[in-house]
Amino acid sequence: MMFFILWISTILCRSHSEERNQQGYSQIIPQNPVIVQGSNITLACVLGKSELSYTNASYIFWKLDEDLIPEEFYTTVNTTVSYVTILNFTAQRRHVRCYIHALKHHQLLQQTELTSGTPPGKPKNISCIYYDQKNFTCTWLPGRDTHLQTNYSLVARRSSDEIICHSSTSSCFFCYPNITFNSEYKIEVIAKNIVGEAQSDLVKMHTLELVKTAPPELVSVEPIQGKKQMLTVIWERPLLAPNSLSVNCSLRYKAVNSTRVLLNHIYMGKEKQMVHNLTGLLNFTEYAISMRCIGTDGPILWSEWSAEKTGRTEEQAPSRKVDLWRVIGYQPGGKRFLHLMWKEFVEVPPSGIILGYRIGYFLEANASLTRTYNTTNREVVLNLTGDAYIFSVIAYNSAGHSPEATLRIPAVDEKLQDFVYGVQAVNLKEQMVVTWMSLNPAVFRYVVEWCVVSDTNVSWQHVSYSTNWTAPTGAFEPFKCYNISVYPLFGAEVGQPYSIQAYFKEGRPLHGPSAKTENLGKNEVTIKWEDISKDKRNGFITNYTIFYKAINGKEQDSVYITSLILPIGLCMAFVILLGVICIRKRRKFKQFCWPDVPNPSDSSMAEWSKEKPKLNSLMNGMQSDGMFAANINVLPSFSSCEDHIHLLGVSEEIHMENTSIGQEPTPPSPQSFLYCKEQEFAQTLTPPAVLYLTAQQNYKSHAPSTFTSNESLSFEHKSSLPSKEAGHEFRPLLLQDACSKGDGNRDILEDEGFQQEVAVNPYLKNSSRTREFLVPDNCSAHIREGTQQPSVIVTPCQQNVAGQTYVTVHMVGLPN
């Protein structure tokens, strides 16, 4: 091949050299060559007269598309011709360009397209079909892609002749009558392109074995009168099928709206026409039918399917009741009307074409007066009295009528049974779901009714054995308010409904309300507005917000927010502050509200030692006489004390005896003074009360062992004596400050022979039956002089008697 190309190039170069003086332009030789893929090729570039005037062939260079070919593949023959060799060219198609170095730039002289391909492969798998009296068609596999234009020749030979069919594809056919029926042929295919050719193997075929008939012709598809679920199919033998050929046929049928396909195989033989009955079909259903046939001899070569033909089975009476419902309305004057409506249940398969509906109704109290009439509509409006009625509706077609659907309309004054409660409607996964609860487990049938609030068109659906219902897709629209009611059903009766309003989806209102002002005052104004119509609300209105502003001013917060936030915030702050105070001052609050009050019945003072005979005799005297007299030293207030000791007041009568007025107190020694320790000693006696005093004893179980006392009884207080006109009535004694400001002498509670120091006994705070008012050790030296030392008649104290008057000792202190 390389020799061939170089030889052509030499001849072309010579011829070009002879012509270049005449033409005067450069050229690439050969132009647009085609080579075998993977081989080598040599091209020549010849300069013309115009280029030779300023250059020669040594300045020529080559490019393959945009890629520069190396100089080692160049060959310069003379000043006018330059060769280039391209090795192992595998690309399907590339461009080769010839350039020359000009004075200032590179100049393109010529270019050519280089194409490569492969010889054709051997054709295989030859198959042929004989279409009776039409043609003889053969197909084959061409082999690999050659990337070149390849032509095919189909050759059919008999002993006497040969016919050829040419094609550029992988199939070819001979027309009738070039191929005759019942003949044997030798078939071969020859493939050829620019770089080579190939020939298939020789195949022997007999046309009788290759016959493929035309489809049969369907004559009719009709139902059988009086026979349900059947169709009769009539068809004819293919017109071009040889008379000597026996055929088998296949009948295909399916319901028009179904994807299920059924087949029946039927032997036709050499018959010209056949009839077949299809059984077990659906009532009043349209079927599509088609057929194909095949010869009984030779390989399986089915004909194409025939054109479809349709037929419908016979009708039958409707098998289900209509879905009956009603809406009861009232007119002025007490009259009412009934909107009766129904819809057909979907039957699969349908029973037939509904021709109309028959309505019947009568008074429940008189069934003999039945009225009936026919209609083709699916609703009717009737005027009713206040009595109870029974209504019935049936649907009919040419084959019969459906079962009767009945409904009872209650009387006006009849109370309906209430079995449904708690109806709710929610949007769940883009579907409206209605749920409810039932008061009676025996009720299992319900009707869900819904309609747009501003519309009168009512939709409904029956629900059985469930207390929830999912609406069909598209039954509810967004932003519309619906009335939804659930009715219980028991037989033909309808119970009391439970109704709610709901939105499938909510949105903001289409517009706000129109407001107007009234009663304009100096500091107030009344604002009124009308409700937005329900078809403009797009949802439930939860609140109205009022915005207002001064002329050319800013908008203020809404009225209700301002009026609520301020008082609520103040109340919350007060509650929090009060809680904090209570927590921090809880001990003082407890002492103030619930103080610790000693219980005299729990005291053990009566168990004191009885070793002091004088005290025992004194107590015996009190028990015998009922009372005893005691000297009371009245102490003035001390000016230097910081705390005050308030003395006890008594609200009942206190009898005074043996009062020595004007008796001067005996100046006590400093060691016998008892001083106060900056504590308050005041308790209020519960009326009726009599002030009682007891002598000091030795406390064995409550005080330290060093605490001893003599037999004298002392009580320090300051009081005002009653007047003679008042008899023995005595006003409540007020114990004044033990220490007060000013100069003066001080009266001292005297306890002769009391020489030992006494320590504080905190237990006496809750156990003592007497109250001693002690002088603090830091009191001033100025003490008021007492001018009165009254004696008080007191009743003796008794052991553990509830309700008696008592005093307690809070603290006892002695001077150091």
The 10s digit of each residue's pLDDT in 419-434 is: 999 999 999 989 999 9
* pLDDT value for 602: 65
* pLDDT value for 29: 80
Start-to-end C-alpha separation, the chain: 147
Tell me which of 255-269, 349-363, 517-531 is least confident. 517-531
Pairing of strands 336-343, 323-330: antiparallel
Look at residue 633 and tell me whether its pLDDT is greater than 60.
no
3-state SS string for 404-463:
CEEEEECCCCCCCCCCEEEEEEEEECCEEEEEEEECCCCCCEEEEEEEECCCCCCEEEEE
Instruction: List Cα–Cα distances, 780 to 704, 745, 751, 777, in angstroms.
Output: 29, 10, 21, 9
Residues 131, 128: Cα–Cα separation, whole Å: 10
Q: How confident is the model at residue 436 (pLDDT cuts 50, 70, 90)?
A: very high
Tell me which of 210-219, 258-267, 277-286, 743-752 is least confident. 743-752
Q: How confident is the model at residue 31 (pLDDT cuts 50, 70, 90)?
A: confident
- Domains of the chain and CATH, by start: 24-117 (2.60.40.10), 124-206 (2.60.40.10), 217-312 (2.60.40.10), 319-410 (2.60.40.10), 415-505 (2.60.40.10), 509-551+804-815 (no CATH)
* pLDDT value for 615: 45
Look at residue 452 and tell me whether its pLDDT is greater than 50.
yes
Q: How confident is the model at residue 716 (pLDDT cuts 50, 70, 90)?
A: very low
Output the CA angle 468-471-474, nearest 5 degrees.
170
Mean pLDDT of 727-754: 39
Look at residue 594 and tell me whether its pLDDT is greater than 70.
yes
Look at residue 253 and tell me whether its pLDDT is greater than 80.
yes
* pLDDT value for 145: 85
Structure tokens at 546: 């009022």
Mean pLDDT of 79-96: 88
* pLDDT value for 556: 57
Instruction: List Cα–Cα distances, 398 to 170, 225, 402, in angstroms.
Output: 60, 13, 11
Residues 666, 786: Cα–Cα separation, whole Å: 10
**Higher per-residue confidence, 202 vs 558:** 202
| Closest C-alpha to 63, from 117, 111, 16 | 111
Mean pLDDT of 243-267: 90
Kindly report the pTM of this predicted structure. 0.45
| Closest C-alpha to 812, from 773, 778, 754, 780 | 773
Tell me which of 44-58, 368-382, 547-561 is least confident. 547-561
* pLDDT value for 241: 77
> What value does the mean pLDDT of the chain take?
74
Q: How confident is the model at residue 7 (pLDDT cuts 50, 70, 90)?
A: very low
Q: Give tens-digit pLDDT for 653-667.
A: 333 333 434 444 444
Tell me which of 71-75, 386-390, 743-747 is least confident. 743-747
By the 10 Å C-beta count (0-12 exposed, 13-18 middle, 19+ buried), 162 is classed as: exposed
Contact at 8 Å (CB) between 214 and 176? Answer: no
Residues 220, 291: Cα–Cα separation, whole Å: 12
Q: Give tens-digit pLDDT for 267-287.
A: 998 899 999 999 999 888 899
Tell me which of 226-240, 301-315, 733-747 is least confident. 733-747
Look at residue 551 and tell me whether its pLDDT is greater than 70.
yes
Structure tokens at 444: 């299992």
Q: How confident is the model at residue 504 (pLDDT cuts 50, 70, 90)?
A: very high
Q: How confident is the model at residue 126 (pLDDT cuts 50, 70, 90)?
A: very high
* pLDDT value for 562: 59
The helix/strand/coil state of 748 is: coil
Structure tokens at 649: 């007041």
Q: Give tens-digit pLDDT for 672-703.
A: 333 433 333 333 333 433 333 333 334 333 33
Contact at 8 Å (CB) between 702 and 761? Answer: yes
**Higher per-residue confidence, 725 vs 588:** 588
* pLDDT value for 555: 59
Look at residue 356 and tell me whether its pLDDT is greater than 90.
yes
* pLDDT value for 810: 43
